[in-house]
Amino acid sequence: MSQQKKAAPKAASETQLVERAQHGNEEAFAALFEMHKRRVYSLCLRMTGNTAEAEDLTQEAFLQLFRKISTFRGESAFSTWLHRLAVNVVLMHLRKKGLQQVSLDQADSSQDEPLKHDYGDNDKRLMGSIDRISLSRAIAELPPGYRTVFVLHDIEGYEHNEIAEIMNCSVGNSKSQLHKARMKLREWLRQNVGLVPAGEPVVSDRAAHEG
């Protein structure tokens, strides 16, 4: 009987864990932390390109979760809500550091090459041409605004309408920032072509996400 009782928390669904955590159950909150810490850390790392910052921001994201979990109403998936919270923590950190941001609110009036590419689609050629280490290095070189949209869309798998909601921008601007991020990545890879070993197996969106 006692063994059965001990196994119960492990068998609990995420919804049940969230409900328990909202009522102050520390074990349920710890279980949610274990369930989501890897993806939150991965998100923070890809957005900042810095392991120490990613570790600190992961802790900060879960501190925010601890304070705000009572406000979760189940209107979206818990993971989506948590990731939005983590993204906001990272963006606030970047703003405090005073890093150059790419505004997602401004109209796309840059002097970059015309946006003739269908940038709403996945860029298989880009994602399939580089190994995992090169991808991480290339993402770290992106300006924070471009990096955020690229990570959310091409790595985390968010749709443009979800990114628009998270970033408080339009769907069109999300698509535009993604296109520019991909162009910058291609340019960086051309200049650092030695980072891509000949004959290295290609990496898919899913493999990059899981790495």
Give the type of residue at 35.
Answer: M
Question: In this prediction, what percent of the chain has a pLDDT beyond 70?
Answer: 69
What is the pLDDT averaged over residues 137-161?
85
* pTM (predicted TM-score): 0.64
Residue 114 — pLDDT band, cuts 50, 70, 90? very low
| Nearest alpha-carbon partner for 102 in 40, 53, 169, 191 | 169
Q: Please check the confidence at residue 134 and state whether its pLDDT lies above 80.
A: no
- The residues spanned by each domain of the chain are 12-97, 124-210
**Quick one: fold of 124-210?**
Arc Repressor Mutant, subunit A (1.10.10)
Arithmetic mean of pLDDT over the chain: 74
What is the pLDDT averaged over residues 146-150?
88
- The number of C-alpha atoms within 13 Å of 200 and in the hemisphere containing its C-beta is 17
What is the pLDDT averaged over residues 118-123?
44
Rounded CA separation 126/101 (Å): 24
Residue 130 — pLDDT band, cuts 50, 70, 90? low
Architecture of 12-97 per CATH?
Orthogonal Bundle (1.10)
Contact assessment for residue 102 and residue 146, using Cβ atoms and an 8 Å cutoff? yes
pLDDT at 108: 41
